[in-house]
Amino acid sequence: MRPVGSLNTPTDGCLDGRVCLVLGAGALSKGWAIGQAIAIAYARAGARVMVGDQNLEAANATVRFIQSQGAQAQACEVEVTSEVSVQNAVSNTVSAFGALHVLHNNVGIGKSGDSAQTTALEWQRISDANLLALHLASQAAIPCMRKAGGGVILCTSSIASHRYVGIPHLAYGVTKAATNQFCKMMAVEYAPDNIRVNALVVGLVDTPRIRNTLMGTYGQDEEAMVRRRNAQIPLGEMGDAWDVANAAVFLASDRARFISGIELVIDGGMSATVRGG
C-alpha cells in the first residue's frame, strides 16, 4: 500500500477547461486534509480552482501549493452557513475564471461523546454546517451551472452516515445521513439541467482533523488511537486524503458522466464488515 499522505493524483487533463469551487479546502495543521487534497487534485487534473475556507490563510496555503505545481487557483474567505458569503464565493469564482462547473461541498463538523451532552445550540450549529451549507452553496451554484450547460455537485459525507464507527457521534452521523439523501434528491431534480450530484461516503482516514479533534473521545494516546482505527479496516490501515481526492476527480470528470445520485463509499472495506472499534 502507498504511504499515508502521498501526493499521487491524476495529471492527465481529465478536468481541462473546468472551473471548480471547493468549500472547506484549507487544513487545520500540518498534514494533508481532505478538502485541501481535493482542491489540489482538481488542479492537477487541469481545472482552475477557487479554494474556499473560513480561514483565509489556510485557503491561501492551499493556493500556494497549487501554484507551485504550475496550476491556477485563487482563494476566498467563506462562511458556509451565510447565504451572502456563499453567494460571494460563487460570484468570485465566476469573476476570476469565467464560469463554474464543479462545486465540492467539503464541509462538516460534529461533537463526539455522550449524545445526551449535546445542547440544542450545538445541534443547530452542526446541522447548519452539515446541511444548510449544502443548500446555500448549491442554490448559488446551480444558475451558473445551467449557464455553462451542466455541472457537478459533490458532497463529502461519512461512513458514520451508515453505521456506528466505534465512538458516539450522533449529530454528525445523522446530519451526514441527511447529506446522502440531499444528494439523491438533488440528482433527480436537476438531472434535466445536466447537473450530476453525488456523495462521497468517506471511511476512517488519517488527517490532521482526527489528531486534533478526536483524541479525547478515543481516550487513548495518538499511537493507540491510530492502531485502533487501523484495526477496523479490512485493508489493514486507514486511508488518506488522496484516496478521497482521487475519487472526487473521477466523479467530477466526464468519465462519470452517467453516475448521479449515488453514495460512493471510500472506506477500505469497513462497511462490509461487523468488525468493531
Residue 274: its pLDDT value, please? 76
d(C-alpha 108, C-alpha 129), whole Å: 6
Backbone angles phi, psi at 3, to 5 degrees: -65, 150
d(C-alpha 162, C-alpha 16), whole Å: 34
DSSP state of 149: T
Residue 276 forms part of a structural domain: no
Residue 3: its pLDDT value, please? 46
d(C-alpha 80, C-alpha 108), whole Å: 10
pLDDT at 128 over 60: yes
- The mean per-residue pLDDT over the stretch 250-258 comes to 98
Which residue is listed with cell 461533537? 111
Residue 145: its pLDDT value, please? 98
Considering only CA atoms, give the Rg of the chain. 18
Least confident of 21-35, 216-230, 257-271: 216-230
Residue 195 forms part of a structural domain: yes
Q: Which H or E run contains 197?
A: strand 195-202
Residue 240 forms part of a structural domain: yes
Residue 9 forms part of a structural domain: no
Residue 277: its pLDDT value, please? 55
Tell me the pLDDT of the chain averaged across its residues.
Answer: 91
- The mean per-residue pLDDT over the stretch 110-123 comes to 88
| Percent of residues, the chain, with pLDDT higher than 90 | 74
Amino acid in the structure at residue 27? A
Task: Point out the catalytic residue in the list 42, 164, 172, 218.
Answer: 172
Q: Which residues pair with 50 in a beta bridge?
A: 21, 74
Whether residue 218 lies in the annotated active site: no
Where do the H-state alpha helices sit in 129-240?
133-148, 170-189, 208-213, 215-218, 222-231
Which residue is listed with cell 433527480? 188
Query: For residue 174, what are the domain limits?
Result: 19-267
pLDDT at 267 over 90: yes
Residue 7 forms part of a structural domain: no
Residue 111: its pLDDT value, please? 83
- The mean per-residue pLDDT over the stretch 173-188 comes to 98
Q: Is 43 exposed, middle or buried (0-12, 13-18, 19+ CB in 10 A)?
A: buried
Residue 257: its pLDDT value, please? 98
Residue 170 forms part of a structural domain: yes
pLDDT at 49 over 50: yes
pLDDT at 1 over 50: no
Residue 197 forms part of a structural domain: yes
Domain count, the chain: 1
pLDDT at 181 over 60: yes
Give 48's pLDDT tier (boundaries 50, 70, 90).
very high
Residue 13 forms part of a structural domain: no
Sign for the pseudo-dihedral over CA of 81, 240, 262, 126: negative
Sign for the pseudo-dihedral over CA of 38, 262, 54, 220: negative
Higher pLDDT pick, 176 / 29: 176
**How far from the centroid of its chain's Cα atoms is residue 159's Cα?**
13
The domain that holds 176 is classified in CATH as 3.40.50.720
Q: Cα separations (Å) of 120 from 114, 116, 210?
A: 14, 10, 24
Give 42's pLDDT tier (boundaries 50, 70, 90).
very high
Least confident of 10-14, 185-189, 210-214, 215-219: 215-219
Residue 4: its pLDDT value, please? 44
Give 175's pLDDT tier (boundaries 50, 70, 90).
very high
Sign for the pseudo-dihedral over CA of 242, 266, 133, 170: negative
